[in-house]
Chains A and B, each alone.
Chain A
Amino acid sequence: MLDKNGIAQRIAKEVKDGFYVNLGIGIPTLVANFVRDDIEVEFQSENGILGMGPFPFEGEEDADLINAGKQTITALPGASFFDSATSFGMIRGQHVDLTILGAMEVAENGDIANWKIPGKMVKGMGGAMDLVASAENIIVAMMHTNKAGESKLLKKCSLPLTGVGCVTKIVTNLAVIEVTTEGFKLLERAPGVSVEEIEKATEGKLIIEGEIPEMVL
């Protein structure tokens, strides 16, 4: 079974040379730590930077330089700043190659819910609705089950949707899953996790074809 860093490490393998990548808050942010250093990748943060770098050294924080999670960051050589309309122009215009974000629920048809729990939590969708409506390549990073042990990979989302039929891949603590027109297709198992455990933790339709390999991190 993977921890949050393990999930990020596995997703980092999906990041290819020459990609512009938008990372959501939470586990997706950790992906940047695991991207191979022999490839060129630029991270976009939707509040207005391309070429986002690591956190600043202590004492070098700049209030005018943050990411979408409001954390202080740095800008790498070749970085650029832009306004919010331009930022979402990049996203809507499909110039960003890969979007990685968290979710509360994903349905077997690729629907995603991650912005609201009616009556309990309303933080807002931020840029998530724009990202999932436009990006061609959307990977969800999340735990396979919620704190109550219930599956987050469902036949149908129960929470208000963020986007419809948009998720292409899911990486959880248990598995790598591709969202197909037929349902959740199991691609890889996390180290030490059996196909049966994944089946048990998946409420939506799980497609298992042949031998399922264990992930290589």
Chain B
Amino acid sequence: MIKKTVNNVQEALKGVQNGMTFMLGGFGLCGIPENAITELVQKNIKDITCISNNAGVDDFGLGLLLQKKQIKKMISSYVGENAEFERQMLSGELEVELTPQGTLAAKCQAAQQGFPAIYTPAGYGTEVAMGKETREFDGKMYVLEEAFKADFAFVKAWKGDEAGNLIFKGTARNFNPCMCGAAKVTVVEVEELVPAGELDPNQIHIPGIFVQRIFQGKDYEKRIEQRTVRPKS
């Protein structure tokens, strides 16, 4: 067994530097790597390019990095819940590249799987496709989208073992599996780190080969963005 465990978040983020490109898993605040984000704030890493579906909210998730102006550029599909984000974007402090959500996932997965680029129909005929190569297949138009290149991928999983094998929970899975192995270094934080052999190999969502470092996360807040309920009747 090739062991991927590190002792803590500090060890897990060794080598992180200003100006790097990071992938961060999560959809809204669901399944975000809370420990890694907190450590990036602590280390005050600057001029970051973030590949993440969303940008957090003002006081949580990537919003914490935005508050401290640590982010230079965001590559996201939807950024609607963050007032500070909007302010920085409209004032030109923050560079933003909006990418269709499926394209964002595909560009991560392409990087993971060794494809330099993929063709997608999403965005054809819109400003997203401007300046990009397009091509017709079977009478339909597609846009060439290149794989992402990133220095670190920060991933949150539910359970993981010492070998870096991962299991995700519910819709907290989202972009996390697509980012594993899609950057030079994949760092995974888990709610429950277990010895090798405890997870059923049949149930593994992401094999440890895509993971370089795994650690036991702590103090998860798991904030809910829109608490919607129905009354018990």
Contacts and interface: CB of A to CB of B under 8 A. Distances in A.
B184 to A, nearest CB: 20
A71 B228 contact: yes
Contact of B177 (A63, A83, A124): A83
A134 interface: yes
Interface of A: 45-49, 54-73, 75, 81-85, 87-88, 91-92, 111, 122-130, 133-134, 160-164
Interface bin, chain B: 35 or more
B35 interface: no
A70 B173 contact: no
B203 to A, nearest CB: 13
Contacts of A163: 124-126
A55 B230 contact: yes
B125 A81 contact: no
Interface in B199-233: 205, 222-232
B126 A88 contact: no
A122 B227 CA distance: 24
B101 A66 contact: no
Contacts of A83: 105, 168, 173-178, 205
A122 B230 CA distance: 32
Given A61-B224, A125-B100, 16 more contacts: A61-B227, A62-B170, A65-B170, A71-B226, A72-B228, A81-B171, A83-B105, A84-B105, A85-B105, A85-B177, A125-B101, A127-B77, A129-B100, A129-B103, A133-B123, A163-B126
Nearest to B123: A129
Interface of B: 27-31, 53, 76-81, 86, 89, 96, 98, 100-106, 108-109, 120-128, 158, 168-178, 205, 222-232
Say whether chain A's binding surface is mostly helix, strand, loop, or mixed.
loop
Contacts of A130: 100-103, 120, 122
A130 to B, nearest CB: 3
B77 A91 contact: no
A84 B27 contact: yes
Contact of A45 (B171, B224, B232): B171
A124 to B, nearest CB: 4
B223 A164 contact: no
